[in-house]
Amino acid sequence: MTTVSGYETNQILTGSTYFQIEDDWKERTGKGVSVAIIDSGIDTSHPDLQGKIRESVEAKKDDKRVLFEASETGDSAGHGTACAGIISRIAPEAELYSIKVLGAGGLGDGHAFLAGLEYAIKNRYRLVNLSLGTTKPHFFAPLHDLLDRAYQAGCIVVAAANNLPQPSFPSVFSSSLISVSKSADTDPFHFSFKYGEVIELCAPGVNVRTAWLGGGYKSLTGNSFACPHIVGIIALLLEANPTLTPFQVKSALYAIAKENQESEK
Amino acid sequence: MSEENKNGLEKKLQSVIETVDVANALTEPMTVSIENLLKISANAMNSEEASVIVREGDEGDLRFLSAIGKVAERLKNLRIPAGKGIAGFVFSSGQPMAITDVGEEDTFYAEVDKQTGYSTQTILATPLRYNGEVIGVLEYVNRIGEPPYEPFTPKEMDKASLYAEAIAALVNAYEIAKIFKDLGDKMLSGEDNSDFVVVREWLSKLRDSSEHREMMDLAVLVREISNRGEGERAMCREILEAVLRYSKDNSETSYLSF
């Protein structure tokens, strides 16, 4: 059992943030947990993903705004399929929703990505896999606003860190979402937590073998593959503990990571 | 600027353009430097092929600007539609990634692979960023020596992002030089050369996104008002602050149209 006690010296934290996670969460399958993947689309015919994608939508330009319509175009890059493959390997019964914002006709800028996030929040998907980011300063404020809305709606957004010199949004927003960077570990349950760093969680992201276009598999490296590992883990936690808030999920991840790190010593 | 000065400047510009080989003088140093850096970095990355891919227009399309290796000549100027393939993904997501066991369906080397018998097996792609904006993609393909090739490591990914930083600065300089090269070509060709307004209009249509241009227009407008005197400045500030208050009240922004 994992006991989440917050920071015990902090008097502000009261009994309401004190909870326990039974160990059987690792045996769960993510059943009943809705997961949105905001990416390049998903190849729904991939053998690993058949029947697991509940809905696929795609961004369309509608004057200055963005409209989402049913998508027939699959995955334009392979990345969304790769992320879906990782999530469904950890949480095989999670309900996956594909929100295609990359490679969608004529939408080269960040608006589609923001609209995709807004779409996910409005549909109240429980979990959002966001392996994308932007460094454009004018997206800072609207993204911050959206992330706060997600947080208030109980929608847990997991973003990939950007291992580049410039900070990228939203992964540097530490309060309202969960940011992940890659490690060379291979066990998805053995993630770690670097408290105090901008990007706090580390999950497998080096040579990850997962689903790719055309029914095949590839070995991939990048923070954007660490992100879906944590999404899969949270799907299991949420099935076992459906009422967890985003804050509680983050606290639980921290407590579990601490146990992982302590067991190494 | 007075009309007289404008005409003087125009004449000077024209004479400069006519005496210099604009096409090469402006852009060539950049392309040569990019290629040199590409060679040095590819060697340090123990990679056989490398390329610099840049944006083409505002819709996310890409084209190969520079390439080194066996298929370099075939790649140059090859276009990649928005969001397609690994380069398309890295460009629009801003996320670097590495792939091993790359298959034909995944890359825009595929066509070239078919023609040359070259086989793309492992790729590292990282975004080129300048001033917070992704302006292209840097790719390293395969290793020096014989297959099977070792996958690119996280350390090499970090190294590539440092090369990307240097190359991005050059690509940005190249893009600016290209604007002036194109302007020079246009003036020399006899089009618009007597009409500065037309040239300016044409220049304003270049490269920058419409949003960026709108912001620049606004900045120019504010500067113009500010130059008219203290009273105008105070009024402008009050109006702008009122707009800001209004937009804060309406801060529940939406990108969706249902």
Question: What pLDDT score does B106 carry?
Answer: 55
In whole angstroms, what is the distance from residue B66 CA to residue B53 CA?
A: 7
Question: What pLDDT score does A14 carry?
Answer: 44
Residue pair A220/A10 in contact by the 8 Å Cβ criterion: no
Chain B contact probe: residue of A164, A202, A209 with most B CBs at under 10 A: A164
**Which of A178 and A198 is assigned the larger pLDDT?**
A178
Encode A127-164 in three state secondary structure.
Answer: EEEECCCECCHHHHHHHHHHHHHHHHCCCEEEEECCCC
In whole angstroms, what is the distance from residue B104 CA to residue B114 CA?
A: 9
Alpha-carbon torsion, ordered A181, A183, A188, A191, to 10 deg: -70
Whether chain A has a CB inside 8 Å of the CB on B19: the answer is no
Q: What is the pLDDT along chain B (258 residues), one digit of tens a residue?
A: 566 676 777 777 666 655 555 556 778 888 899 999 999 999 999 998 999 999 887 777 889 999 999 888 888 878 887 777 788 888 888 889 999 877 655 555 666 666 666 777 899 999 999 887 889 999 999 999 888 889 999 999 999 999 999 999 999 999 888 887 777 776 666 654 455 565 556 566 654 555 556 666 777 788 788 888 888 888 888 888 888 877 665 555 566 654
Nearest to B137 by CA among B71, B101, B83: B83
∠ CA(B138), CA(A197), CA(A169), 5° rounding? Answer: 50
Active-site residue A39, yes or no? yes
Chain B contact probe: residue of A79, A109, A185 with most B CBs at under 10 A: A79
Which strands, in side-by-side order, build the sheet including B79-80?
Answer: A208-211, A217-221, B97-100, B122-130, B133-143, B47-55, B62-68, B79-80
For tokens 């059992």, name the residue.
A1
- Residue A148: is it exposed, middle or buried by C-beta count within 10 angstroms (0-12/13-18/19+)? middle
- Residue B224: is it exposed, middle or buried by C-beta count within 10 angstroms (0-12/13-18/19+)? exposed
In whole angstroms, what is the distance from residue A201 CA to residue A177 CA?
A: 11
Question: What pLDDT score does A85 carry?
Answer: 97
Question: What pLDDT score does A260 carry?
Answer: 87
**Which of A1 and A92 is assigned the larger pLDDT?**
A92
Question: What pLDDT score does B71 carry?
Answer: 82
Pairs across A and B, CB distance < 8 A: 157
Nearest to B180 by CA among B36, B24, B33, B76: B24
Whether chain B has a CB inside 8 Å of the CB on A91: the answer is no
Least CA distance to B166: which residue of chain A? A165
Instruction: For chain B, positions 57-116, list CB contacts with chain A under 8 A.
Output: 58-61, 82-86, 88-89, 92-103, 105-106
Mean pLDDT (chain A) is 85
**pTM, 2 dp:** 0.79
Q: How many angstroms away from the CA of B149 is the closest CA of chain A?
A: 13
Question: Which of B88, B95, B98 has the CB atom closest to A132's CB atom?
Answer: B95
Residue pair B140/B124 in contact by the 8 Å Cβ criterion: yes
Whether chain A has a CB inside 8 Å of the CB on B249: the answer is no
Write the pLDDT tens digit of every residue in A104-158.
655 556 788 889 999 999 999 999 999 887 767 778 888 888 998 999 899 999 9
On chain B, the residues whose CB falls within 8 A of the CB of A131 are 93, 95
Active-site residue A79, yes or no? yes
Write the pLDDT tens digit of every residue in A19-52.
788 889 999 999 999 999 999 999 999 999 999 9
On chain A, the residues whose CB falls within 8 A of the CB of B88 are 76-77, 102-103
Q: Which DSSP string do the residues of B8-63 spell out, in sequence order?
A: HHHHHHHHHHHHTTHHHHHHHHHHHHHHHHHHHHHHHTTEEEEEEEEE-SSSS-EE
For tokens 């040095």, name the residue.
B40
In whole angstroms, what is the distance from residue A184 CA to residue B151 CA?
A: 13
Residue A213 has pLDDT above 60, yes or no: yes
Whether chain B has a CB inside 8 Å of the CB on A77: the answer is yes
Q: Round to the nearest angstrom and report the end-to-end CA distance of chain A.
A: 19
Residue A17 has pLDDT above 80, yes or no: no
* B19-to-A215, B6, B28, B211 alpha-carbon distances in Å: 59, 20, 17, 36
Instruction: For chain B, positions 142-201, list CB contacts with chain A under 8 A.
Output: 151-154, 157-158, 161-162, 164-165
Which two three-digit tokens encode residue A158? 């997991």
Write the pLDDT tens digit of every residue in A229-255.
999 999 999 999 999 988 889 889 988
- Residue A27: is it exposed, middle or buried by C-beta count within 10 angstroms (0-12/13-18/19+)? exposed
